Amino acid sequence: MNAAAIKRLWPFGRTDERAGAGVLPVRDQVDVVGARPVRLMGFDQPLVAVVGVLLALGLVMVYSASVALPDNPKFAAYSQTFFLQRHLLAMLIGLVAALVTLQIPIAWWEKNAPWIFVLALVLLVLVLLPFIGKVVNQSRRWIPLGVMNFQPSELAKLAVLLYAANYMVRRMDARENFFRAVTPMVIAVTVVGALLLRQPDMGAFIVIATIAMGILFLGGVNARMFLLIALVIVATFALIIYFDDLRRERILAYLDPWNPKYAQGKGYQLTHSLIALGRGEFFGQGLGASVEKLHYLPEAHTDFLLAVIGEELGFLGVATVIVLFFWLTRRLFAIGRQAIALDRVFAGLMCQGVGLWMGFQAFINMGVNLGLLPTKGLTLPLMSYGGSALLMNLVAIALVVRVDVENRTLMRGGRA
């Protein structure tokens, strides 16, 4: 059979000049369902759509939660749309950064992961300097950049994620020797943790430790020894809580928030979050109709945005957010597994690390809002007000989309 005959029988793909020798044609951009060609998507459109829905809902709810803040003397100089404008600006900067990230091959991130980690360490040191770091609510976590206050701990999450994935690829031969595999990463996370606890920012440290441990486990470190180090880390956190009066009070307030001793103190946010969720019932009070955001619930537009969602959109709104984050986390892990199946271990571990980051931080934030976990000061990814957090979330998602694009290119026979 000559090439012209094959072209007539298979009009949807390339023909090979050697077709006469029995080489089948290669399908390039289409698949066949019945008689109709179907376009092969160049990227994961449902993933991008879910991220878009979370961003849009977050923008609406940040405006709803912050619109009344100027009535508070603390925010009297701000307009009603101040936080909306800042959040929208951060979103636009994050989207531009995400588009730039999409243009950079994953190989570049793998090569430069150690240097990104060093940059994060330098910024974590700089933020502690009195003439550089900005103090808000007794915590020195931000570096003022004019257009936004940058939080180095957000970059540290991405940096540790990249470094851990890169480390596991470089030390693949050490996976069976637990101490050889784990010791360097433990030292790196300990240094980051010491700097974060100086701010203090224990919530970010917990997320970073979870990301690092998760990547080590997914990278194939001996499971029994991994469980041992997990128990050691849990014991370390227990000791920190035991010797830290502030954190011990938070734990006690979480266990009994309605106790008069805590209801107007460490349990104040939790009690008002539960009141907001209770008022929402199934369908909510209606968009913009929250009462708790009217100076009762502190940080309603940041840490406790889910409580406002619960009050205004009800159980239905909260359940929708939970399902969206569950789907997002599951999809991030699926793209990572696909990359590993294509022998792209760094890309796969990185995607799964992003899944751990988004899923675990969302879980903690939701648990705090619902009274299932002690107050931690972590925002809801992609939704809560916070410029640097939103920026780094979008960059991380863009990295996963880039991995997915390269995966699809490889499966079509191209080059990543």
243 and 296 share a domain?
Answer: yes
139 and 2 share a domain?
Answer: no
User: Which string of DSSP letters, residue by residue, matches 302-359?
Assistant: TTTHHHHHHHHHHHHHHHHHHHHHHHHHHHHHHHHHHHHHTT-HHHHHHHHHHHHHHH
32 and 86 share a domain?
Answer: no
Confidence of residue 325 (pLDDT cuts 50, 70, 90): very high
**What is the three-class DSSP state of 135?**
strand
Q: Please provide the average confidence, as pLDDT, over all residues in the chain.
A: 83
**Top-confidence residue, 38 or 302:** 302
Q: Is the confidence at residue 252, as pLDDT, over 80?
A: no
The most confident of the ranges 19-33, 53-67, 221-235 is: 53-67
Which range is least confidently modeled, 241-250, 261-270, 344-353?
A: 241-250
Average pLDDT of the residues in 304-322: 95
Rounded-to-integer distance, Cα 208 and Cα 210, Å: 5
252 and 226 share a domain?
Answer: yes
Q: Is the confidence at residue 313, as pLDDT, over 80?
A: yes
28 and 137 share a domain?
Answer: no
Cα radius of gyration rounded to whole Å, the chain: 24
Q: What is the DSSP letter of 147?
A: S
What's the domain range around 95? 46-410
Residue 222 has a pLDDT of: 67
Q: What is the pLDDT of residues 254-279, one digit of tens each?
A: 777 887 777 777 778 888 899 999 99
Torsion of CA 400, 350, 95, 55, to 10 degrees: 80
Average pLDDT of the residues in 190-212: 87
Could you give the percent of the chain with pLDDT greater than 70? 84
Query: Two tokens at 289?
Result: 């109709």
Q: Is residue 264 part of a domain?
A: yes
- Residues with Cβ within 8 Å of 53's Cβ and at least 6 positions away in sequence, in order, are 324
Q: pTM of the predicted model, to two decimals?
A: 0.84
Average pLDDT of the residues in 158-184: 79
Query: Two tokens at 92?
Result: 């636009």
Confidence of residue 414 (pLDDT cuts 50, 70, 90): low
Rounded-to-integer distance, Cα 11 and Cα 160, Å: 49
Rounded-to-integer distance, Cα 25 and Cα 21, Å: 12
Q: Is the confidence at residue 82, as pLDDT, over 60?
A: yes
Residue 357 has a pLDDT of: 95
Confidence of residue 372 (pLDDT cuts 50, 70, 90): confident
Q: Is residue 415 part of a domain?
A: no
Residue 177 has a pLDDT of: 64
Could you give the percent of the chain with pLDDT greater than 90? 44
The number of residues making up the chain comes to 416
Q: Is residue 297 part of a domain?
A: yes
Q: Is the confidence at residue 413, as pLDDT, over 60?
A: yes
397 and 318 share a domain?
Answer: yes
Average pLDDT of the residues in 234-260: 74
Confidence of residue 139 (pLDDT cuts 50, 70, 90): confident
56 and 29 share a domain?
Answer: no
Average pLDDT of the residues in 377-398: 92
229 and 106 share a domain?
Answer: yes
Residue 80 has a pLDDT of: 87
Q: Is the confidence at residue 83, as pLDDT, over 50?
A: yes
120 and 35 share a domain?
Answer: no
Q: Is the confidence at residue 384, as pLDDT, over 60?
A: yes
Q: Is residue 170 part of a domain?
A: yes
Average pLDDT of the residues in 124-145: 85
Spell out where 1-146 has E strands: 13-14, 26-27, 30-33, 36-39, 134-136, 139-144
Query: Two tokens at 323?
Result: 């399902």
One-letter amino acid at 242 equals Y
- Element (DSSP H or E) covering residue 126: helix 106-126
Residue 256 has a pLDDT of: 76
State yes or no: cis peptide before 200, omega within 30 of 0: yes
Average pLDDT of the residues in 72-90: 87
Confidence of residue 8 (pLDDT cuts 50, 70, 90): very low
- Element (DSSP H or E) covering residue 149: strand 149-150
Distance from the Cα of residue 169 to its chain's centroid: 22
Q: What is the DSSP letter of 21?
A: G
225 and 262 share a domain?
Answer: yes
202 burial class (0-12, 13-18, 19+ CB within 10 angstroms)? buried
One-letter amino acid at 218 equals L
The domain total for the chain is 2
Q: Is residue 197 part of a domain?
A: yes
Matching residue, tokens 């000559």: 2
First to last CA, the chain: 34
Q: Is residue 416 part of a domain?
A: no
Residue 2 has a pLDDT of: 47
One-letter amino acid at 336 equals G
197 and 57 share a domain?
Answer: yes
Q: Is residue 3 part of a domain?
A: yes
206 and 171 share a domain?
Answer: yes
Q: Is the confidence at residue 38, as pLDDT, over 50?
A: no
